[in-house]
Amino acid sequence: MSVARESWGTRIGFIMAAAGSAVGLGNIWKFPYVAGENGGGAFLLIYIGCIVLFGLSIVMAELLVGRMAQRTPVAAFREVAGRGWSLVGGMGVVTAFIILSFYIVVGGWTIAYMLYTVDGALASTDSASLERVFTELTGGTWMPLVYAAVFMALVAGVVLGGVGKGIERAAKLLMPLLFVILLVLVARSVTLPGAGEGIAFYLTPDFSRVSGETFTAAIGQAFFSLSLGMGAMLTYGSYMPRDHNLPADATAVVVLDTLIAILAGFMVLPAMFAAGMEPGSGGAGTTFMVLPAVFDAMPGGPIFGFSFFLLLTVAALTSAVSLLETVVCYFVDEYGASRRGATAGSALVCFLIGIPASLSFGLMSDVKIFGRTFFNLLDFLSSSITLPLGGLLTALCVGWALGPRAIRAIGNDGRIAVPWAGVWLFVLRFVAPIGIGWILIQGLFF
């Protein structure tokens, strides 16, 4: 039995919440080092092209399915395209659950590092010392779980408030805070001695470094940075009033997400050049094992270090909220569960699954499933299989199963002019499936 459905109170509230869902750790820590590994300015241009071509199209598709049905992902696909398509929605809910189970572990690390900047544990430019701090944290048994539990509690607290009083209110507070912190850090980074070389690297395209791997990285980064294929955008779209200008709102979300990723590049790459470090050095460990050394070398380093890890925590929180809401929405809509019960139960089960994910770096590091630790298995299942597969099937559903109906619905049955709707449908039918299919093949076989 269904219950009365909530909706966004304001257009800006929806845009902030949806942008918060899209903006996550991938924007802040992953984008800069991927850009550094793939030629700086050349990668930036290709990435923006992929966002315009793939990202915006699928964001619109997911939001449209949600708004048309005003239901959870499972029911939404079933209602707009037929019973067989409900499996796509079910996969989205499961994917959101899987990702949240290991995402809270990383979110806990960001909280820990905020505290570390306060107590001086990161006051070092020695890479071996910083690596030791990171491995002691992640390899611990109890403290990482405590931080993960705190992070999970923050996420659940927001979702308990519901769409208007919880998610929308939090997004209106957290997203401006994220922007302010990011702009302050960018201003500090670009004014460091020697930062000019990093700015030039970031803005000057070097196409000699472009290869097939560059395009693969750009497509993958564009796709994953927008939280596609996990039911989050569809769920948020289901709370969207039918008279909203969906193309305009989707464009605003994508622009905000892309802007934050680009600003993150200005924050990280100039600082790394100023510190004499190679762009892209450290890989994913840049956040926890390289950047603390950069901050320590700055005047006022602890302040900027704390601000950076606060920024990461906010970005992780806004994304995690959308993941938990996707799961909670399913139980509330499909089974008539109370929001309180669905939130508490989902958060508890996610945390329990997060325990072996956290212990994968320490006590259970030798436990392998299909050759991967539990954490890496969850990451592989979501990022390499269910996310791209969900995005691919969403594109095919809207492009082919809905077809002309999608064009009418995106324009509110003619009330909004969308002159490029035909191009959008063409992208969903042909272009997006090719790009996403390539990501899927790369993730499975390379």
Query: Tell me, what's the pLDDT at 24?
Result: 87
Q: Tell whether 61 is covered by a domain.
A: yes
- The single-letter DSSP state of residue 205 is B
Cα separations (Å) of 277 from 42, 206, 281?
Answer: 20, 19, 7
Domain count, the chain: 1
Element (H, E) at 13: helix 11-22
For 283-292, the pLDDT digits (tens) are 556 678 878 8
**Tokens, residue 350:** 């996610």
- Alpha-carbon span 347 to 324, nearest angstrom: 7
- Alpha-carbon span 24 to 28, nearest angstrom: 7
**Tokens, residue 50:** 């992929």
**Tokens, residue 111:** 């909280």
Question: Model pTM?
Answer: 0.94
Q: Looking at the predicted structure, is the pLDDT value of residue 125 above 80?
A: no
Work out the end-to-end distance of the chain between its first and last CA atoms, rounded to an integer number of angstroms: 45
Q: Tell whether 4 is covered by a domain.
A: no
CB neighbours (10 Å) of residue 71?
24
- Alpha-carbon span 64 to 409, nearest angstrom: 8
Q: Pick the closest to residue 237 from 227, 248, 246, 224 (CA basis).
A: 246
Are the C-beta atoms of 172 and 12 separated by less than 8 Å?
yes
**3-class secondary-structure state, position 192:** coil
Are the C-beta atoms of 386 and 98 separated by less than 8 Å?
yes
For 250-275, the pLDDT digits (tens) are 999 999 999 999 999 999 899 888 88
Q: Tell whether 161 is covered by a domain.
A: yes
Query: Tell me, what's the pLDDT at 281?
Result: 58
Mean of pLDDT values over 41-52: 92
- Alpha-carbon span 90 to 74, nearest angstrom: 5
Mean of pLDDT values over 223-250: 90
- Alpha-carbon span 270 to 188, nearest angstrom: 10
Q: Tell whether 133 is covered by a domain.
A: no
Query: Tell me, what's the pLDDT at 2?
Result: 45
* Region for residue 293 given its phi and psi (left: phi exceeds 0; alpha: psi -120 to 50; beta: otherwise): alpha
Query: Tell me, what's the pLDDT at 443?
Result: 77
- The single-letter DSSP state of residue 297 is T
Q: What residues make up the domain containing 388?
A: 11-119+138-273+294-445
Residues 6+ apart with CB under 8 A from 40: 201, 202, 203, 204, 205, 206, 269, 279
For 312-362, the pLDDT digits (tens) are 999 999 999 999 999 999 999 999 999 999 999 999 999 999 999 999 999
Cα separations (Å) of 140 from 148, 228, 415?
Answer: 12, 32, 57
- Alpha-carbon span 131 to 293, nearest angstrom: 11
Query: Tell me, what's the pLDDT at 235?
Result: 96
Query: Tell me, what's the pLDDT at 1?
Result: 40
Q: Tell whether 31 is covered by a domain.
A: yes
- Alpha-carbon span 323 to 235, nearest angstrom: 9
The CATH number assigned to the domain holding 68 equals: 1.10.4160.10
Q: Tell whether 264 is covered by a domain.
A: yes
For 93-111, the pLDDT digits (tens) are 999 999 999 999 999 999 9
Mean of pLDDT values over 410-428: 91
Q: Tell whether 246 is covered by a domain.
A: yes
Q: Pick the closest to residue 301 from 117, 121, 119 (CA basis).
A: 117
For 354-400, the pLDDT digits (tens) are 999 999 999 999 999 999 999 999 999 998 899 989 999 999 999 99
For 167-216, the pLDDT digits (tens) are 999 999 999 999 999 999 999 999 988 999 999 999 998 888 888 888 88
Are the C-beta atoms of 25 and 221 separated by less than 8 Å?
no
Are the C-beta atoms of 186 and 266 separated by less than 8 Å?
yes
**3-class secondary-structure state, position 2:** coil
Amino acid found at 326 = T
Count of helices and strands (H, E) across the chain: 23, 0
For 148-170, the pLDDT digits (tens) are 999 999 999 999 999 999 999 99
Q: Tell whether 355 is covered by a domain.
A: yes
**Region of poorest pLDDT, from 68-77, 124-133, 163-172, 404-413:** 124-133
Are the C-beta atoms of 236 and 1 separated by less than 8 Å?
no
Query: Tell me, what's the pLDDT at 283?
Result: 57
